[in-house]
Each structure stands twice: as C-alpha cells, then as structure tokens.
Amino acid sequence: MAHHEAHHIEISKEQFVVPAKAKMFTLGAAIIGLLLTVVGVFTLPTDSSHSANSHAKPATHAGHDNHGAAAQEAHKVDPNLVVDNAGHETLFPKTTHKDPEHPKPAFTRFWANLLVNGYFFLIISLAALFFIAVNHVANAGWSAAIKRIPEAMLTFIPVALVIVLVVLFVARQDLYHWAHYEHQNIAKGAPGYDKILAGKSGFLNSNILLFGTLLFVSIYFLFGLKLRSLSKKEDEVSKGDLTNFRKSVRFSGAFTVIYGFSFSVLSWLIIMSVDAHWYSTIFGVYNFATGWVSALTIICCFVLYLRSQGYLKIVSDEHVHDLGKFMFAFSIFWTYIWLAQFLLIWYAQIPEEVAYYYDRFNDPQFKFQFFLNVIMNFVAPFLILMTRNNKRNPLVLSIAALILITGHWNDVYLMVMPGTIGSAAEVGVLEIGMFTMFCGVFAYWVLQALTRRSLIAVNHPYIEESAYHDVGP
C-alpha cells in the first residue's frame, strides 16, 4: 500500500504504569461514592407505610383469575383498573407490585441499587469479552491495537458476579415477588394461589436463580480467562507463530455461540423475573444492547485516556473514529430494540404485557426517567456523534460517553426499580453514591489490570494491519 511506503510505524511493547493522579481520582471516586452510599443507607425512610402504599394490590385480569365470581366482584370496585380512551375498562393493573399485607422494608432500596449496579457492570464486562471474541471470529484487524483494554475489562466479571450473587442470596424474597411466593408454598386452589407463578416455578425458583447465574457467568469467565491466557502466550512466542491465535479463534467461536443463546436466559433470571407476570421475547437482545453500547463507550474512554498519557502510540485517529462510529451505530440499534419492544406492546395492548410499561410511563416517580432514557441513549448521542469530526474529537467523545454511560445506568435502573420497590424509588444520595462508587472501583480495577501486560499485542498477526489502519481520505 502507498500508505505503508509513506511512513514507518514502530510497533513495540508498552508497559503501562497507573499515574498517581489516576489512582487518586478513581480511588477518590470510590471512597466518596462509598461515603454517600453509607449516608444514603442511614437516611432511608423507616416508615413502612410509605413502602406499603407503593405496593398496591393489582387488579385481577385475564389469565390471572382463579376465584371466579369473587374476582368479578373485585373487578367492579377495583380503583386500579385503567380506562382506555373509548371509556372501556382495560384489565391490567396500575402496578405490578403485590402483597400489601407484607410491605417491603426500606433497606430493600439498598439491595435493589446493589442489583442495578452489580448487573450493569456485569453486562459491561461480559460485553467486553464478547468484543474480543467477535473480533477474533470476524478476523478483524483494526481492533488488534486496542484488544488489551477489553481484556482488562473482562477481569471484572468475578467481582460483579459475587455482588449479584450476594444480592440474589440475601435479598431475593424482597426483590422478587415470585421468590416470596415460592417461600409461602401455597397449595393449588388455596387463597393466594397464583396460577402464573406456579406455572413458571419450574424455571423461576431459587435454585435455578442462584446456580443458573453462577453457572452461566462462570462459563463465560472461563472462556475469558482462556482467551486472555492465549493472548499473553502470543507475546511470548516468536512473531509469525499462529498457534495461539488459531486457538483463540476456535475458543471465540465456541463462546459466541454459547453466549448468544444463554445470555438471554441470564437476563430472564436476574432482571426480567423482577416483573414475574410479564415477559418479552426480545428482552435478552435489549439487555445485550445495553451492555454492548456501554462497553464500547468505556473502551473508547480508556483509549482516549491512554493516548492522552502518551501510550498506545500505534492507535490513530482512525481507531478513535471507528469507536465513535460504533457508539453512534449501536445507540441506534439499542433504540430500535427499545422501540420495537415498546411499540408492539403498546399497539397490542395485551393486559399482562401493558402492565410493565404502565408502571414506568404513568407513575410520576418513573415517567421523567422513562423519557430521559430515550434522550440520553438515543437523541443526545445521535445528534452529538452525527458528524465525522465529532467522532474524532476526544472532548466531544468524552461528553457523549458520559451521557451514554449514565443513560444506560438509568436504563437498568428502570428495569429493576419499578418491580422491586415501586413508587418508593428515587434517585437520591444512595443511588448517586453507589453508582459513583462502582464507577471508581471499576476504573481502578481495569487500570490495574492493564499494568499486568504490554498494552500492545506485538505478536498478534494483525497488529501491523491495525497499526497502519487507513480508510482513505
């Protein structure tokens, strides 16, 4: 290529050392976040009536009726029934929260926030692993120069997994209505028997929730460890030895198939089952899109930071431009999935489906965040990253990244909070503090992981192609 002849790029190992300012900033964020979290916990409301009011008993609706005439009578007087534009009663509840006789403790808000943040950073770490695997399978050359960043990000998987498992083990009966119902052991035909939850009990039970989550994520992480190990071995062999690369391609192919089928099940278990009477066949793709856009955005942030510190010398503006294009394109993809799920449910107006969006669209506690979700995850990045120059501008990309990461945290928040604590939810000191803490811990963890090997995979077969990355004028 003429581009190769024009100038020579030196490809050499780069050993990253975390700057003192970066340590201070990330640890400072983690500590400040921890302090805010503690303050938030100690200032949680203790009045159980607030919690009880936010968990109104739902109206009986089609498919959930088990008491015949009694249910019909309840239907006549139930104030929770929704009236549509034509004046007809629509048989779905204003809320999906049950058990007003057993209001959830205020501390449930802490566990719900821990689930939001633990799950959010789990799917980001898993998406980083997917980034590595899909580039191997596609034989993509451009990403070879930055592959050590997602490799470092995937090391956070066990941390996020432990956090999620702790929440599931300790607080599942507070967060998941089906887990509380399972604990009651109500016989068929007895008062309080729920046909839907009983029918799903073969899948929605504590054993599958805990061991299924542990099994799926552990398998993913083992693939991540193997790919990371092969990447390290690649540095230790002579240039041109493709043994480890070929193994990486094979393991990546196996991972993408397993991950593609099983990630949906993982999202059903941890997140969709929060609203146990509701389901969506596109929910797994929706969760993947949330984690994928967030991971691409964070990879871009680390690339920009490392370049600003004088590292990643072979990474050019073309690589940054590619990451900006990914952020732009997959923000549109996320919106497509979000809109497809929303519009189909809105148009069909099936009671057990509409209830999910009714909580999020009509409850004043969530309505603002519902619209903010679309603005932060689509409108803002679409407008900001529309032009070529903005996709190559570090400051503009950083602003877009901040919006996207916060926006997708808000996305996960809306998946969890309406179904766990309802109107008792709010974005306060606890929420801001815990999110800040997780951001600080995650950033510090990844920076430390980057120090354990060269930032440049010098023996990767496509490293020269990546270094001389050129898309033309």
Task: Per-residue pLDDT tens, the chain, 473 aa: give them.
Answer: 444 445 678 888 999 999 999 999 999 999 999 999 999 999 887 654 444 333 333 333 333 334 333 333 333 333 334 434 344 444 444 334 444 444 456 689 999 999 999 999 999 999 999 999 999 999 999 999 999 999 999 999 999 999 999 999 999 999 998 998 888 888 888 888 888 898 888 899 999 999 999 999 999 999 999 999 999 999 888 888 899 999 999 999 999 999 999 999 999 999 999 999 988 889 999 999 999 999 999 999 999 999 999 999 999 999 999 999 999 999 999 999 999 999 888 888 887 788 888 888 888 889 999 999 999 999 999 999 999 999 999 999 999 999 999 999 999 999 999 999 988 888 999 999 999 999 999 999 999 999 999 999 999 999 999 998 865 44
Please report the pLDDT score of residue 340 as a whole number: 92
- Residues 6 or more apart whose CB falls under 8 angstroms from that of 386 comprise 328
Q: Would you say residue 108 lies in a domain? A: yes
Dist CA 315 CA 191 (whole Å): 65
Dist CA 417 CA 15 (whole Å): 42
Q: Would you say residue 84 lies in a domain? A: no
Cα separation values, 305 from 22, 45, 101, 465, Å: 10, 40, 52, 23
pTM attached to this predicted model: 0.87
Q: What is the pLDDT of residues 175-201, one digit of tens each?
A: 998 998 888 888 888 888 888 898 888
Q: Packing angle between helix 243-270 and helix 108-137, nearest 10 degrees?
A: 150
User: What is the C-alpha R_g of the chain?
Assistant: 24
- Residues 6 or more apart whose CB falls under 8 angstroms from that of 33 comprise 433, 434, 435, 436, 437, 438, 439, 440
Instruction: Domain of residue 146: give its range.
Output: 11-58+93-467
DSSP state of 212: I
Helix (H) or strand (E) holding 282: none
Give the per-residue SS3 of 8-66.
CCCCCCCCCCCCHHHHHHHHHHHHHHHHHHHHHHHCCCCCHHHHHHCCCCCCCCCCCCC
**DSSP letters along 213-245, please?**
HHHHHHHHHHHHHHHHHHHHHHHHSPTT--HHH
Q: Packing angle between helix 243-270 and helix 283-308, nearest 10 degrees?
A: 130
Q: Would you say residue 68 lies in a domain? A: no
Please report the pLDDT score of residue 470 as a whole number: 64
- Residues 6 or more apart whose CB falls under 8 angstroms from that of 59 comprise 74, 75, 78, 80, 81, 91, 92, 93, 94
Q: Would you say residue 182 lies in a domain? A: yes
For tokens 């057993």, name the residue. Answer: 102
Give the per-residue SS3 of 81-140.
CEECCCCCEECCCCCCCCCCCCCCCCCHHHHHHHHHHHHHHHHHHHHHHHHHHHHHHCCC
Dist CA 327 CA 292 (whole Å): 9
Please report the pLDDT score of residue 80 as a whole number: 39
Helix or strand or coil: residue 473?
A: coil
Please report the pLDDT score of residue 425 as a whole number: 87
**Cβ(396)–Cβ(278) below 8 Å:** no
Q: Would you say residue 415 lies in a domain? A: yes
Q: What is the pLDDT of residues 370-405, one digit of tens each?
A: 999 999 999 999 999 999 999 999 999 999 999 999
CB neighbours (10 Å) of residue 452? 14
Q: Would you say residue 268 lies in a domain? A: yes
**Cβ(157)–Cβ(220) below 8 Å:** yes
Picking from 355, 410, 471, the residue whose alpha carbon sits closest to that of residue 95 is 355
Read off the tokens for 294. 């967030």
The angle formed by the CA atoms of residues 198, 417 and 355, to the nearest 5 degrees, is: 55
Q: Packing angle between helix 283-308 and helix 317-348, nearest 10 degrees?
A: 160
Picking from 288, 297, 303, 306, the residue whose alpha carbon sits closest to that of residue 324 is 297
Q: Would you say residue 274 lies in a domain? A: yes
Read off the tokens for 468. 């001389």
Dist CA 416 CA 93 (whole Å): 18
Please report the pLDDT score of residue 329 as a whole number: 97
Please report the pLDDT score of residue 294 as a whole number: 98
Structural domain count, the chain = 1
Q: Would you say residue 219 lies in a domain? A: yes
